[in-house]
Structure 1
Amino acid sequence: MVYFKNDGGQIIVTCSLFNEDNVQIIDSAMNWKIALQKASEPLLKANIITPKYVASMIESIKKNGPYMVLTDYFALMHARPGDGVNKMGMSLLVSRNPIDLEGKPVKIFLVMAAIDNTSHLQSLQKVISIFMDTESYKTILSANKSAIVSMFKKVKG
């Protein structure tokens, strides 16, 4: 989670959304549904989401196409806020090889679970700014878990 700590009267936002528990690296997956299920496992295990949320994400892609693929190799996987979500959370799956998501090659599956339409926006903005940084994006695409976790531990804003 993004949390606030008082450091001599200043508020510091630290990004600890991604850690050893919710960052996964794989070589590949047979299809995007299997990759999405794998990407969702940390959130399911932590009871942040329910299987209903995973099913909703799959149905959304089937109905609307690959709109969740935001840029080369990156998909922001989500469903309707609150529907199968117990609390806000994110998980990250990086594949060393591209996985076809309805005609779009994806290596990064970022699963976002939101409880409502607004509470996740600050966390999402922080994460997207990291993904927009070329060097950070290369670090994520490198599929080196310790480098990815270390990078997110260092992020402050």
Structure 2
Amino acid sequence: MQNVFSEENIKIISQIDNWQKAVEIACQPLLEEKKITQKYVTNIIKSVKKYGPYMVLTDYFALMHAKPGEGVNQLAMSLLVVKEPIDLEGKKVKIFLILACPDSKSHIKTLKEVAGVLMDQCNFELILKGTKSQIIDLFQKKEMDGGKK
């Protein structure tokens, strides 16, 4: 897992007004690093408004993304954890994982490794309830383990 999460691209906040604001906050580090443009943020919001909450993959977890390439300068991810759940078109979400892909293939390995971390219930709970440093340590440990448990 090629150093996906750093202190800069993980945010933990207690609450927020709506899911659109959550997407904007989650995308902010990627905008600052010029890995994405504002167009990508707008496209994520448009996709949810058009297709509904399909990005909510499990309780409290949404994989936020838009069409590959449009507004994406390089493969990137960021993470926002909100302690109080937010309504995303009828689904409650606390974890917003932003996935920005420059094409339709480059993200597959990284996404598989991140999904492997998230599918472990203990890891998922740690992300929901842990501190930023605990979350960073979790992903860095997976990097050193080569993505294995």
TM-score calculated relative to the size of structure 2 = 0.95
Report the counterpart of residue 29 of structure 2 in structure 1: 42
Per the TM alignment, residue 143 of structure 1 is displaced from its structure 2 partner at its CA by 4.0
Flag structure 1 segments of 5+ consecutive residues without an equivalent: 4-15
Deviates further, 62-71 or 135-144: 135-144
**Which whole-Å deviations, capped at 9, do the CAs of 1:111-144 have from their partners, x for residues lacking one?**
0000100011000000001000011101100141
**Structure number with bigger Rg:** 1
> 1:98 aligned to 2:95?
no
Report the counterpart of residue 122 of structure 2 in structure 1: 135
Report the counterpart of residue 13 of structure 1 in structure 2: none
Question: Which stretches of structure 1, 4 residues or longer, exceed 2 Å deviation after superposition?
Answer: none
Taking the TM superposition and a 5 Å limit, the aligned residue runs for 1:9-48 are 16-48=3-35
Distance 2:29 2:52 in 1: 25
Higher normalized strand content (fraction of residues):
1
Flag structure 2 segments of 5+ consecutive residues without an equivalent: none
Deviates further, 141-150 or 117-126: 141-150
SS in 2 for 1:109: strand
State the AA in 2 paired with 1:78: H
SS in 1 for 2:17: coil
Distance 1:28 1:37 in 2: 14
- Paired residues, number: 144
> 1:88 aligned to 2:95?
no
TM-score calculated relative to the size of structure 1 = 0.90
Distance 2:83 2:52 in 1: 23
